[in-house]
Structure 1
Amino acid sequence: MKKMKKYLSLILAGILVTGLLTACSSGKTEVATAGGETADTSGTTDTSDTTGAAKGSGDSVQELNLRASAFGNNYDVQDMGWRWMMAECYEGLLRDVGGADGDKYELAGAESIDVSEDGLTYTFHLRQNAKWSDGKPVTANDYKYGWDRLLDPSKGYSYAAFIFNIVGAEEYYNKKGSLDDVAIKALDDYTFEVKLKVADPTFESKLVATPLYPTRQDVAEAAGDNWGKDWKLNIYNGPYVLSDLVEDNKMVWTKNKYYWDADNVKLEKVNWFDVAEDATAATMFDNGQLDVINGAGDYIKKYDEEAKAGKIQSLATEYPGTAMLSYELQNGGKSGLMKNANIRKAISYSINRDEMVGAVYGRYTPAYGLISPAITFNEKTYRSQAEEPISTEYKEYAGDKTKLQGLFQKGLDELGVKTPISDVTVVLLTYGSTTQNQTEREYIKQSLEQNLGIKVELNTVGDSSLFTSERDAFNFDIMTAAWYSDYNDPLDYLDIFRTGVYHSYGLYSNTDYDALLDSLSGLKDNSKRLEIYQKLENKLLLEDCAAAPLYYADNHFYIQNWVKDFHTSSFGASQEVYHTSVSGK
């Protein structure tokens, strides 16, 4: 057996972007608009006797005030829940913690991990001092029950696919096998074991995901249909518990005195305020009513200047997300033209990414690849090892109307379409009512009309459910979309384009692409994996132009000077305050 190190150092950065509207679907986080308002969400539990004594820092009260732009209502960890809260009030085997120098995975619920030489058997040795917020121990059976529950076919959890590589798991989920045949075992109270079908280099990075957190069987079953819906029924095994919640107003976390590392949890209380408008949040931050703010728009420039002057602290990080345009590939869209790769390329190359991120957002990094620079592979950023696929070809066409229209016309000719370019109309599907939403879609519309000479009809809907309805009815040619990764590996981006996986990414299907994905199964050689990743990304974007990447996400946190040790996380709590304290307020 080989021992896992005390932590896995992963050089990546970021936090959940509070300027993007997200919606969970098909086991992943989809963003239906390339830039909009965030749906940050909410937390959890009953507070009776769960608060320990605060670790004082000077004379300051150990209380932190944070902003959420909305509270959610899903407290079921197996359903991914609201990750920004789940990762602070709950804890899995590993914890993802980030900061100015990037992210790292630390041992959390597991004290050590053994991995067999063939990479198939993982044995997790749990902390024997880990307890739930009611004082009962966290045991291997709690992990087994949580993982079994994730696979339960009657519940239909979409993140079950995370552990389909466990022996018997996929068969049980698809009702072709028994739970007894699933290789998830509680060997004793503090030893948890799983066996994989094939070695999987991405498995450890998935262990920070909330669906793989433990769940107490007695509590979940007592709650019945209300499990995950009523926050008062929850118990926690993380640094904090949700002790109060007023919908659309305020949420309060208090320190969990039973947490195994409670001595190093310094905050007594964390207050979350539901503040929908950026301007209101900025005023509260300026007045000292908020201790941390995630900047957006013009506020970034303002707060950067204040940080340079030493008035506040700043923390800018990359975040593993990529905004893009997606094409209707099933039927060719309302126009019937989207099945042609040259037409899709002409649309993609008509958009000036550098100008767009400056004029529309005032932030982000122009994207010429699918996989974010925040994603690492073999302990280095993936983008430092793989050139962005469309960067060279894009430069050949960018800003040249004659070449762009020639590329579009080539596509029309290949389709046998005799309609003049000036008579072509394509439909762009978007949603969101913020000023940034409106500026974004008008910029895309103007770019396509001016560079290609076509007409763009906007199909703008008011919310995500209407957007999904229009998408599923194929009432578009192009739509705004984005992908925010669930684990730290390029595969999480590339696998969303596998045949039959995601409706929201245009129903792309290519048997050669699928075969390349299949060739990664059980492959442990990182040099070969990197080569296949590059082939996949090139085939997807350069050969087939199955999507048009626009920008890579980022975060700009601004922190009052009295706040110490504030961290971020890309795959856990977006605002990681486990070790945070207040001094000199």
Structure 2
Amino acid sequence: MITRRLTLSLLAGAALTPALTRLSRAAGTPGDEPQPLAEAVTKGEMPPMAERVPKAPRVINLAAMGRKPGVYGGTVRMIIGSQKDIRLMTINGYARLVGYSQELQFQADILERYEEEEGRIFTFHLREGHRWSDGHPVTSEDFRYTWEDVVLNEDLRKGGVQRELLAEGKPPRFEVIDERTVRYSWDAPNPDFLPSLAAASPLTLLLPAHYMKQFHKKYVSEDDLKAKMKAARVKKWADLHIKMSRQYRPENPDLPTLDPWRNTTALPAEQFIFDRNPYFHRVDENGRQLPYIDRFVLNISSAGIIPAKAGAGEADLQVSGIDFIDYAFLKDSEKRYPVKVNLWKRTLGSRVALLPNLNCGDPVWQGLFRDVRMRRALSLAINRHEINMAAFYGLGKESADTILPESPLFRPEYAKAWSSYDPATANRLLDELGLTARDGDGMRLLPDGRVARIVVETAGESNLDTDVLELITDHWAKVGIPLFIKTSQREVFRNRAMGGDIMMAMWLGLDNGVPTADMNPGELAPSADSQLQWPVWGMHHLSLGQFGHAPELPEAQKLVDLLKEWKRTTTTLERAAIWHEMLAIYTDQVFSIGIVNGTLQPLVYSARMNNVPENGLYGFEPTCYLGIYMMDTFWYGDSVS
């Protein structure tokens, strides 16, 4: 594996030469600088481009990607629903130590290269001359500070070392090899390590030590720290450090970054301005430093009117806050405004899914939901074709809650598992369960005489949920199961589910519907308390056995065991075998009831914006919304290409 990675690095280095030559020639030409930086370069306030990028920058060959090299300039307007949504710039900007390619393979990004040995030893090599957005060098000291003074600090990490940094419960050994080389080593394999670095919300291993030390009690006097705490309105030094170091949600405009754009606006604000990072580490094949676009302006608006604003030409690039239900209106806006609307495929395992709570507090319903015949019957009683036609214009794929054909792990039998419309078999299974008695309306009765009414809770944030549930109400009534819709707020979901108060929830299906074998299959097993079909079992795994309890259901426990086995693997082949075993169990046992997947997501963008893919996979994980499609390569021209 090491030999292969080093060979790829050498080939990449050979490809750098033409771009670096062009970059060197352009170094003293102000016209080749982004306009906002050209004046500063001319005045000597900032080094020229050739001195701002690393000695060996990451070269993006746009022509090889079927795109066109661009020109500098322009401002992009985006609309966000709240201040916290500035995180979209971190997700969409997608600068990672190691990230995913568009083919969802790992590749060095911020790192010049990395080596992996036996799935447990990872050596990182930094790019020579790489700098933070304030011009300070990126060095191994940044890694050392983050590991020793942040991750291992009990005040800053009260929960201990993050799970992704544990292999068989133990953290890695960290070594500084030299100024540009560090190593993380475990005694056992850690297949979670690289995926956690490439994630939408990545593991933090790299903070700007030169900036952050001023907020750490180890490096400044108590009086100095108290003054900073007072200014930041916090009572503990740890809260100060955490507040000033947030990278995922970049609320501190003074925090140096490695992202393509940096926030320049302090909270609170109704508008946030992100300017280009003058020291960004990527260039195109012509040696032009990325990003092409100068600035992003994010305007806060009520979430409910984001589609209307986007359709009224108030956004130059908009994908968050809009949904397929808005497509017809947005598409019509092309006639009135200089915008284009593309449709990308959502990566969810199911656009909406029903999650029977196997930890339900009602003993009768808990017993029924834990019987696979009940889950299969409820799935077979749903007419997915009718839902697909009515809610998705027939453009979705009727399917169980499982992975999509775009995943190399896809098999048709996973999508077909118990997802056909078969009310006769559903009725037979319900009869086998002993639910044969009925009331005067033909509805089935529970063994204790109650009507077998299922209460489905939804966050009520979308008309889609209630539209789909109203159709399912009719479908289930035909097999004698009444359905009642109850709207809850999202924030109360978890507590109610943990307490056993939720019978069944309507939520999204699998978050990652396009996994590779090297991605964690934890969604298929009880592994988190946010999983509404088994929150108590998930809490048990998440807390390493301190809370909740292990699954009583053998098939659910088997999934937990397989997840643990995946964490001990060293090869992609081993991981793929485990993925397939888990997918087979999960779909056959119908632990979540999928409806339709492969649904479409509108993307609105300026008609003058180039390099926006016509087709793409849209999701939080693993594509990081627009992230893997490299928003830093989008550019304005006279017309769209």
Query: What TM bracket, shorter-length normalisation?
Result: 0.7 to 0.9
* 1:128 and 2:132 matched: no
CA distance in 2, matches of 1:278, 1:8: 49
Q: Which amino acid aligns with 1:402?
A: A
> 1-side partners of 2:116 and 2:72: how far apart?
45
Structure 2 counterpart of 1:257: 278
1:407-418 equivalences under 5 Å are 407-412=429-434
Greater shift, 311-320 or 61-70, is seen at 311-320
For 1:44-59, what aligned pairs fall within 5 Å after superposition?
Answer: 52-53=37-38
Match for residue 192 of structure 1?
A: 182
| 1:215 equivalenced with 2:207 (yes/no) | yes
1:292 aligns with 317
- Aligned counterparts of 2:341 and 2:159: Cα–Cα separation in 1: 38
CA contact (8 A) 2:381 2:475 kept: yes
Matches within 5 A, 1:37-48: none
* Amino acid paired to 1:131: R
C-alpha distance in 2 between matches for 1:284 and 1:515:
47
TM-score (norm 1): 0.74
CA–CA distance in structure 2, aligned partners of residues 65 and 470 of structure 1: 39
- Which amino acid is the alignment partner of residue 387 of structure 2? M
1:226 aligns with 2:272: no
Q: 2:452 aligns with which of 408, 421, 424?
A: 424
Shift of 1:480: 1.8
In 2: Cα distance, 1:436 partner to 1:539 partner: 29
Any idea what SS the aligned residue of 1:428 has?
A: strand
Tell me the equivalent position of 1:574. Answer: 626
Q: Distance in 1 between matches of 2:90 and 2:71?
A: 30
Q: Which residue of 1 aligns with 2:17?
A: none
Could you tell me which amino acid in structure 2 is paired with residue 214 of structure 1? L
CA distance in 1, matches of 2:328, 2:606: 16
Establish whether residue 557 from structure 1 lines up as the match of residue 603 from structure 2: yes
Q: 1:573 to 1:108 in 2, by over 3 A?
A: farther
Alpha-carbon distance, 1:308 to partner: 12
2:263 alignment partner in structure 1: 242
Q: Deviations over 1:3-30 (max 9, x none)?
A: 4235999xxxxxxxxxxxxxxxxxxxxx
Instruction: Check 1:419–1:431 CA distance in 2 against 1; reply closer, same or farther (3 A cut).
Output: same
Structure (1/2) with the larger strand percentage: 1
Task: Give the whole-Å Cα distance in 1 for the aligned partners of 2:296 and 2:10.
Answer: 27
Rate the CA distance shift 1:250–1:364 in 2: closer, same or farther, 3 A. farther
Quote the residue 2:194 is aligned against. Answer: 204
In the superposition, the TM-score normalised over structure 2's length comes to: 0.68
Q: Which residue of 2 aligns with 1:405?
A: 427
Amino acid at match of 1:215: L
Question: Cα distance 1:89–1:534, how it changes in 2: closer, same or farther (>3 A)?
Answer: closer
1: CA distance, partners of 2:315 / 2:198: 28
**Once the 2 structures are TM-superposed, how far is the Cα of residue 269 of structure 1 from its aligned partner?**
0.7
Distance 1:141 1:447 in 2: 61
Higher helix share: 2
Q: For 1:391, which of 399, 410, 416 is the aligned residue?
A: 416
Matches of 1:218 and 1:447, distance apart in 2: 62
1:107-122, aligned counterparts within 5 Å? Answer: 107-116=108-117, 118-122=118-122
| Local SS of the residue matching 1:578 | helix
In structure 2, how many angstroms separate the alpha carbons of the residues matched to 1:473 and 1:233?
42
Task: Give the drift of 1:333.
Answer: 4.5
Aligned counterpart, 1:342 = 373
SS at match of 1:264: coil
State the shift of 1:535 in Å.
1.9
Partner of 1:272: 298
In structure 1, the residue matched to 2:495 is 469
Distance 1:136 1:303, change over 3 A: same
Where does residue 141 of structure 1 map in the other structure?
Answer: 141
Q: How much has 1:477 moved relative to structure 2? A: 1.6
1:511: how far off?
3.0
Q: Distance in 2 between matches of 1:355 and 1:147?
A: 54
- Counterpart residue type for residue 580 of structure 1: F
1:347-386 equivalent positions in 2, closer than 5 A: 347-362=378-393, 364-374=396-406, 376=407, 381-383=408-410, 386=411
CA distance in 1 between counterparts of 2:354 and 2:10 reads: 37
Unaligned runs of 5+ in 2: 13-34, 40-48, 50-68, 216-239, 284-288, 438-444, 538-550
What is the aligned-residue identity percentage?
Answer: 13
For structure 1, which runs of at least 5 residues remain unmatched after alignment? 10-49, 76-81, 173-181
**Contact (CA 8 Å) 1:202, 1:489: kept in 2 or not?**
no
Kindly state the Cα deviation for residue 505 of structure 1 after the two structures are TM-superposed: 3.5
Give the Cα separation in 2 of the matches to 1:2 and 1:364.
Answer: 43
Partner-residue secondary structure (3-state), 2:194: helix
Q: Which residue of 2 aligns with 1:12?
A: none
Q: What amino acid does structure 1 have at the position aligned with 2:595?
A: L
Alpha-carbon shift at residue 329 of structure 1 (Å): 1.0
Distance 1:402 1:87, change over 3 A: closer
Contact 1:129–1:260 (8 Å) recurs in 2 = no
- Find the counterpart in structure 2 of residue 160 from structure 1: 162
Secondary structure at 1:452's aligned position in 2?
coil
Give the 3 Å change call, closer, same or farther, for CA 121–133 of structure 1 in structure 2. Answer: same
**Does the CA-based 8 Å contact 1:122-1:194 persist in structure 2?**
yes
SS at match of 1:496: helix
Taking the aligned partners of 1:91 and 1:367, their CA distance within structure 2 comes to: 34
**Residue 312 of structure 1 contacts residue 558 of structure 1 at CA under 8 Å; is this kept in 2?**
yes
Residue 284 of structure 1 and its aligned partner are, at CA, apart by 4.1
Query: Are the counterparts in 1 of residues 346 and 601 from structure 2 also a CA contact under 8 Å?
Result: yes
> Which whole-Å CA distance do the structure 1 matches of 2:483 and 2:512 have between them?
31
Equivalents in 2 of 1:361, 1:421: separation in Å? 39
Aligned twin of 2:79: 67
1:172-209 Cα offsets, whole Å, 9 max, x none, are: 5xxxxxxxxx3122222210211233345564333323
Query: What are the residue-to-residue correspondences of 1:440-479 with 2, within 5 Å?
Result: 440-448=468-476, 450-461=477-488, 463-479=489-505
The Cα of 1:111 is off from its aligned counterpart by 0.8
Deviations 1:437-469 (A, max 9, x none): 432333333332x232222233311x2212223
CA distance in 2, matches of 1:420, 1:401: 25
- Greater shift in the superposed pair: 184-193 or 402-411: 402-411
Aligned to 1:327: 356
| Contact 1:6-1:106 at 8 Å conserved across structures | no
Given the superposition, is the C-alpha separation of residues 59 and 344 from structure 1 closer, same or farther in structure 2, using an over 3 Å criterion? closer
| Deviations, residues 519-547 of structure 1 (Å, cap 9, x unaligned) | 334434544433332221121221x3222
d(CA) in 1 for partners of 2:600, 2:517? 17
More RCO (CA 8 Å, sep 6+): 1
Q: 2: distance between equivalents of 1:90 and 1:333?
A: 45
1:63-86, Cα deviation, whole Å (9 max, x unpaired): 11223233317x8xxxxxx3x322
Instruction: Write the distance in 2 (CA, Å) between the matches of 1:59 and 1:124.
Output: 33
- Given candidates 87, 91, 95, the residue that maps to 1:91 is 95
| SS of equivalent to 1:267 | coil
CA 1:535 to 1:348, structure 2 compared with 1: closer, same or farther past 3 Å?
Answer: same
2:492 counterpart SS class: helix
- CA 349–333 in structure 1, closer or farther in 2 if over 3 Å, else same: farther
